[in-house]
């Protein structure tokens, strides 16, 4: 995880967006999709960016991403404790994954 004083909080993660038959999205999201990240009892808006520069995120395939919290200063402590990733769009779970290597830059 990286964060500068007052800067963004970014998690390095491996995520898999769920297929429609798993209750996930109907179509593949674009790179830089906005979702809500579960941080224990709260949710935070975030941006999911592909590490490999792909323009679209395939459904059902695990891939490396960076997740930037929109309100990182507010939820940095919760993000530091995070090991598993759950991304939502509204109340719908659309992706699951794990934090791969928290980092402090």
Give the start-to-end residue ranges of the domains of the chain.
Answer: 9-99
- What kind of fold does domain 9-99 have according to CATH? Elongation Factor Tu (Ef-tu); domain 3 (2.40.30)
Is 73 strand, coil or helix? helix
Question: Does the pLDDT value for residue 104 go beyond 70?
Answer: no
Q: Report the Cα 13 to chain-centroid distance in Å.
A: 7
Contact 63, 33 (CB under 8 A): no
Contact 78, 39 (CB under 8 A): yes
* Token couple for 27: 């179509």
Question: Does the pLDDT value for residue 96 go beyond 80?
Answer: yes
**What pLDDT, on a 0 to 100 scale, did the predictor assign at position 1?**
53
Question: Does the pLDDT value for residue 20 go beyond 60?
Answer: yes
């Amino acid at each position: 995880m990286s964060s500068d004083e007052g800067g963004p909080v970014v998690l390095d993660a491996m995520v898999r967006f769920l297929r429609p038959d798993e209750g996930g999205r109907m179509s593949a999201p674009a790179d830089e999709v906005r979702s809500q990240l579960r941080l224990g009892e709260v949710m935070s808006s975030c941006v999911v960016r592909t590490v490999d520069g792909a323009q679209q995120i395939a459904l059902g395939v695990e891939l490396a991403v960076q997740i930037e919290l929109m309100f990182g200063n507010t939820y940095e402590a919760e993000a530091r404790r995070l090991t598993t990733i759950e991304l939502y769009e509204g109340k719908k779970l659309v992706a699951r994954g794990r934090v791969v290597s928290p980092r402090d830059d």
